[in-house]
Amino acid sequence: MGLIEKYGSGIKRVIDTFSSYGLREPLFESRENGFLVTVWNKKETTQETIVRLLKENPKYTRNDLAELIGKSNSTIKIYLAELKKNGLIERIGSTKSGSWKVNRK
């Protein structure tokens, strides 16, 4: 019937829309008779978005982050330097083959 396919693509469209506005992705949780959607009313800062993305995929490059967030490569470089300076993230390994570590604070 295609119902599940539509269900899944609708959730992806919601996530993509939130992301395109720089908003934190809603949280979808399965419940006994349906599901619960949690929507936050605070817009993420660029730094919060970078940290969230690096938690999701520590292998993201500066170029990946720039494309995902919609900022320039040089802007992402500045944010990464600030996050490293504040001890929120650190680079493990080389620039090309390394990954990011998100520190808890």
* Percent of the chain whose pLDDT exceeds 90: 51
Mean pLDDT of all residues belonging to the chain:
87
Is 56 in the same domain as 90?
A: yes
Range of the domain at 75: 46-102
Is 50 in the same domain as 97?
A: yes
* pTM: predicted TM-score of the whole model, two decimal places: 0.64
Is 82 in the same domain as 63?
A: yes
Is 33 in the same domain as 50?
A: no
pLDDT tens profile 38-75: 888 877 889 999 999 999 999 999 999 999 999 999 99
DSSP 19-87: HHTTBPPPEEEEETTEEEEE--SSBPPHHHHHHHHHHH-TT--HHHHHHHHT--HHHHHHHHHHHHHTT
